[in-house]
Structures are given as C-alpha cells and as structure tokens.
Amino acid sequence: MKRIFRPWHWAGLTALFLLGLLMAVLLRGPYLWPTTVALGPCLPDYSSPSTWRGERASPLLSTAFNVGDVRGLVCYGSPSARGRQVFEAAPSETADTWAATATTDTTTTSDAGAPSILVRNGALWRLGANEPTRLFIDGPILLGGLPLDAGRYSLYARPDSAEWTIFVSASTNHWGNTITPPVRAREVGSFHVPILPSGTFVESFSVTYSEPPGDTPALVFEWADRQILIPVEGL
C-alpha cells in the first residue's frame, strides 16, 4: 500500500527539525552560525543542571569592543571573593598583605587553618566561573601578539607569582575548568602577560576594554588586588 504524506506530516517533521536545532544551540552554549553573521549573544551552557535550577552564584557577563572594523565580544562568569583568598601570595608578599584586602572572619580555611585559595599558581584556570571564558571576533586581530582569525575561542590561564600564561583554544564546548587533553589539543597558541596591582580591592572578577590615548588598546582582567592587560590590535 502506497504511503501518502499529508501536509501535517511535513509540518510535524519541520517542527521536530527546528526543535532539534534549537536544543542543539541551547544545550551546547556556543553557536552554529559564523561570527561574521553574528557574534553572540552570550549563552549559558544548558547542559549544566545549575543553569536550569538558577543556582549560579557567579553571573554571566559580557564585554564588547571594537578594533578598527573588527567587532569583539568576551563572555565570562564573574565570581566574587566573598572573604576568601583569591590568589596565592607572591614571594615578596606577606600574610599581612592578604589580611588587608579581605574580611578574614568569613574566609574559608583548610584543615590546617590556612586560608583556602581560589586560584592556585601553576594550575590552569578558566579566567572566570562556570563556562569557559569565550572570545568572539568577526575579523582577524592580534591578541597578546598572537594572530587570531575570525571565530570563537576559549581563554584560560596558568597564573604564577610574576606573570600569567594565557592560552587560546578553538574549543568552546567544554565546561570551564575541564581543560582536558582534547581541549588543549585545539590550542591556537599562548603568550605571557605580567601581573599588575589593581590599586584597590576588586570584589568581583571583571573584564573591561581600555583604549588609553597614545597606547595599545587592551582587555583588562581584574580580581582582588591584581590585574592583567592583554593587548588587542588589528591585523
């Protein structure tokens, strides 16, 4: 017997296809269209239960910028110190430096009584919270001297006492600190940036774009008592 597809059959198949496409975008966070069509928006990773439950302590924020004709967007989770020690002390720093920049009576401590540390020297860190920190650009730029083509990238760092190593990967679907060998295999490159004092204590991690007159524009990453500047230039 010959099967006949009714109009509502095609409508049902079309609806299922569109629903599947929507779920693919929502569940994976990053996007199916090229950045030359649309940069963003910054979407949370809906494969995480905390996203559905609305339990995020660190909000998803964004910073937009322009380098000549190239548009850029940084999507990042913004954690807060909340009385905890954020970074390890540099060799020249003392415990008094830490005590002067945070409220010690709410600091979480280890079993040995020392303050717990959120970001350890020598360990890879997602440069934020929750999802990886993502960089979207619709044209070529130099980031920290590293040439990047239009596309979507994740940024993560290896902090140290005097400088940080910043890594750029083409992987954007991984969960923030799940920086596995497959994620690292997609690295485009890396570069080093010095640590600078933030001047005042910055409670919540932030990313801003600075265009100082007569100087190279930069993405500024700040948290606690430290900041790093990543130069951004056109190609």
pLDDT tens digits for range 49-74 = 767 777 678 899 999 999 999 999 99
DSSP-assigned letter for residue 20: H
DSSP-assigned letter for residue 43: -
Give the Cα separation of 117 and 89 in Å (integer). Answer: 10
Query: Given this model, what pLDDT does residue 218 score?
Result: 96
Give the Cα separation of 72 and 10 in Å (integer). Answer: 40
Confidence band of 99 (pLDDT split at 50, 70, 90)? very low
Query: Given this model, what pLDDT does residue 219 score?
Result: 97
Inform me whether the pLDDT recorded for 90 exceeds 90: no
Higher pLDDT, 147 or 35: 147
Query: Given this model, what pLDDT does residue 93 score?
Result: 44
**41 upstream amide cis, omega within 30 of 0:** yes
Give per-residue pLDDT as tens, 206-234. Answer: 999 998 877 889 999 999 999 999 999 99
| pLDDT over 70 percentage in the chain | 76
DSSP-assigned letter for residue 109: B
Q: Nearest Cα to 141, choosing from 132, 151, 128, 154?
A: 151
Give the Cα separation of 126 and 154 in Å (integer). Answer: 8
Give the Cα separation of 9 and 11 in Å (integer). Answer: 5
Give per-residue pLDDT as tens, 8-34. Answer: 566 767 777 777 666 655 555 456 678
Query: Given this model, what pLDDT does residue 10 score?
Result: 64
Query: Given this model, what pLDDT does residue 113 score?
Result: 44
Identify each DSSP E strand in the chain by its residue range. 60-67, 70-77, 85-87, 117-119, 133-137, 141-143, 146-148, 151-159, 163-169, 187-194, 196-210, 218-234
Query: Given this model, what pLDDT does residue 27 score?
Result: 52
Higher pLDDT, 188 or 104: 188
For residue 110, the Cα-to-chain-centroid distance in whole angstroms is 27
Give the Cα separation of 195 and 106 in Å (integer). Answer: 26
| pLDDT over 90 percentage in the chain | 53
Q: Nearest Cα to 86, choosing from 72, 102, 74, 75?
A: 102
Inform me whether the pLDDT recorded for 109 exceeds 90: no
Higher pLDDT, 148 or 177: 148
Q: Is there a contact between 90 and 162 (Cβ–Cβ < 8 Å)? A: yes
**Average of per-residue pLDDT across 146-155:** 96
Inform me whether the pLDDT recorded for 165 exceeds 50: yes
